[in-house]
Chain A
Amino acid sequence: MKMKSTFMLLTIILTHFSLMGQGKIVNISFDVLINKSTLQIGKEYNIQQNKISVNVLRFFISNIELYQNENKVFFEESSFHLIDIKEANSKSLSFVLPENIVYNKIKFALGIDSTINVSGVMDGDLDPVHGMYWTWQSGYINFKMEGRCSECPAIKNDFEFHIGGYQYPFNAFQEIVLDLKKNNPIKIKMELFDILGSTDFKTTHRIMQPNKEALDFSNKLKHAFSIQGK
């Protein structure tokens, strides 16, 4: 235990020095919105005559890269981030960039790529204890949203969307490229209003495995991301 804390302290000191020397910290934040305001867990929203609330919202952001036009100028190593709306800390991340890097685009993925899906058990954000790995078959859940909708023909009007799948033809891993308006901080928003508004909860309220519905849902999610600000 003592050794661990010494090691932690050393890491902090070293990181501090390396930051002073050659680099700058870039901060990225993710904000999930419903009709332009931050989603509040448990709050009831009126969307297309439906009363909708969200109780669980967790998703993986991975493979973060920065581009100057078409040229990749930076990629984050071991880039896997589990974002949980209930955990404020999980919504922002940062990394150190070499000082002289110029970039105007960000690329990232929603979900976990196929290689990681079949490479055995992982630690940290990828640890299956977070409930983001299917147990009855192999594969990460890329995006998990659970809540209630007045229209759902299910117990307590519950809906459950566990979106994942890494194999053809239902590969729900989505890559997203956004033009940046500002280099730092990078504020990314995910607007769910249209997705919740266009979902027919009478017929679609449970997606729990890789299939056509999951793939379609992941496509909608891909287009829910944009850069915040002017």
Chain B
Amino acid sequence: MKKTLVVLVFFICSAFLSQKEFFSTPKYWPKPTYDFSKNPIDANKVLLGRVLFYDPILSANNTISCESCHSPFSAFTHIDHSLSHGIHDSIGSRNSPALMNLAWKNSFMWDGAIKHLDMQALAPISHPSEMGSDINSSVIELNKSIKYRKLFYAAFGDSLATGEKTLKALSQFLLTLVSANSKYDQVKNGTHVFSAQEQNGYILFQKNCSSCHVEPLFTNDTFENNGLPVDSFLRDVGRMSISSNADDSLKFKVPTLRNIEYTYPYMHDGRFIKLSEVLNHYTKGIQNSKTLAPQLVKGIMLSANEKVDLISFLLSLSDKEFVFNPEHRYPKIN
């Protein structure tokens, strides 16, 4: 009897120990917008989503995975590519967004076309220049695979893949991509302090940038025209292409600045490679138009030294633990 009890206690304890925390909200962050009650985080679902994320099985000819354009080492964007390329070497029309802190977003894509994280993956899976497939074909392929049969069974108690389960599992993995341990976060937590240069950069940031790049997520998750001249080849009008509203012309989603060190090139079309180019745009490159963000009408004034300080603050948003987290990488399973 006693022996059974000991064994039982051991099993219960080990069950609790193996229950890793996949998602938590830092103290000074707002509540997530994702409704976890409809898709509660579960270790097996996260694993399935992670396997799917790295598997080209979702593309039409088994060549392109989510990771192709969202590499963990660049905070899940397509490093060194102004525009991302997909199946048959076709080139897209926008820079692939970095993936992090997605549980706090209300819409996705540079133009906000997608309203829910669960539905986001449908777009790249179906896009002829990205994965060139469709969710129905992907699900058929998944159901042919013994490996996935096992993973779906472990995650959902049913080996049959469906569109709903596939997309929910992908969401689960994406939700675990929380970046909240940069130097900035450590300063907020009181475990670290800014250097004098970073502190000065932080003050400049709060004065000039924080109305759109709102702390602590460093985005207000809305759409703004930041005065970029229109590319004559792409002629991208941004949000207006979705809303058909002229007030949205040339507006794009305000991106987070977290991990900005790793996510170059910058802007919706990846036109700037260095942070100094970005700051130069804000100080002397802004083009006026009807929809220009009101905060930018007068431009931003920064001296050469101030730019250096501001960049040193922006580098404090790098989260090495996030970028090099082995839990986010290609999963080794049989």
**Which residues on A are within 8 Å of B, measured CB to CB?**
4, 117-123, 126-131, 133, 135-139, 211
Contact = CB atoms under 8 A, between A and B. Distances in A.
B116 A127 contact: no
Interface in B150-206: 158, 162-165, 167-168, 171
A137 B163 contact: no
Interface stretch (B12-20, B44-52, B117-125): B117-125
B266 to A, nearest CB: 24
Contact of A135 (B38, B115, B125, B158): B125
Nearest to A139: B115
Interface stretch (B80-88, B91-99, B133-141): B133-141
B162 A120 contact: no
Given A129-B163, A131-B134, A118 B123 contact: no
Contacts of A120: 35, 38-39, 116-119, 168, 171
Nearest to B107: A138
B127 interface: yes
Given A120-B117, A123-B162, A135-B125, A211 B134 contact: no
A121 B163 contact: yes
B122 A129 contact: no
10 contacts: A4-B158, A120-B39, A121-B116, A121-B163, A127-B163, A128-B119, A135-B122, A135-B123, A135-B127, A136-B127
A123 B161 CA distance: 11
B39 to A, nearest CB: 7
Contacts of A137: 113-114, 242
A138 B127 contact: no
Contacts of B305: none
Given A120-B38, A120-B39, A128-B135, A133 B162 contact: no
B116 A138 contact: yes
B38 A119 contact: yes
A129 B125 CA distance: 12
A96 B24 CA distance: 44
B244 interface: yes
A163 to B, nearest CB: 16
Nearest to B125: A135
Interface residues of B, number: 29
Task: Count chain B CB atoms within 10 A of each CB in A117, A119, A121, A136 and give the residue with the most.
Answer: A121
Interface in B43-84: none
Contact of A123 (B126, B139, B164): B164
Contacts of B242: 137
A96 B119 CA distance: 33
B38 A129 contact: no
A131 B38 CA distance: 22
Nearest to B123: A135
B159 to A, nearest CB: 8
A196 B196 CA distance: 72
Contacts of B136: 129-131
A118 B116 contact: yes
A4 B158 CA distance: 9
Given A137-B113, A137-B114, A127 B162 contact: yes
A107 to B, nearest CB: 27
A137 B111 CA distance: 10
Contact of A128 (B35, B38, B167, B171): B167
Given A133-B122, A135-B123, A121 B168 contact: yes
Nearest to A127: B163
What 6 pairs across the A-B complex have the smallest Cβ distances? A138-B115, A129-B163, A121-B118, A135-B126, A137-B113, A123-B164
B119 A121 contact: yes
Contacts of A121: 116, 118-119, 163-164, 167-168, 171
A5 to B, nearest CB: 13
A143 B66 CA distance: 31
A211 B244 CA distance: 9
B324 to A, nearest CB: 31
Contacts of B114: 137-138
Given A121-B118, A123-B162, A136 B39 contact: no
A119 to B, nearest CB: 7
Nearest to B165: A123
Nearest to A123: B164
A122 B126 contact: no
Nearest to A212: B244
Nearest to A118: B115
Given A121-B167, A136-B113, A137-B242, A129 B162 contact: yes
A123 B166 CA distance: 11
A22 B30 CA distance: 49
Contacts of A127: 162-164
Contacts of B118: 120-121
Interface in B202-229: none
A119 B116 contact: yes
Contacts of A138: 113-116, 119
Given A135-B127, A136-B113, A139-B115, 12 more contacts: A119-B35, A121-B116, A121-B167, A123-B165, A126-B164, A127-B163, A128-B135, A129-B162, A130-B136, A135-B134, A135-B135, A137-B114
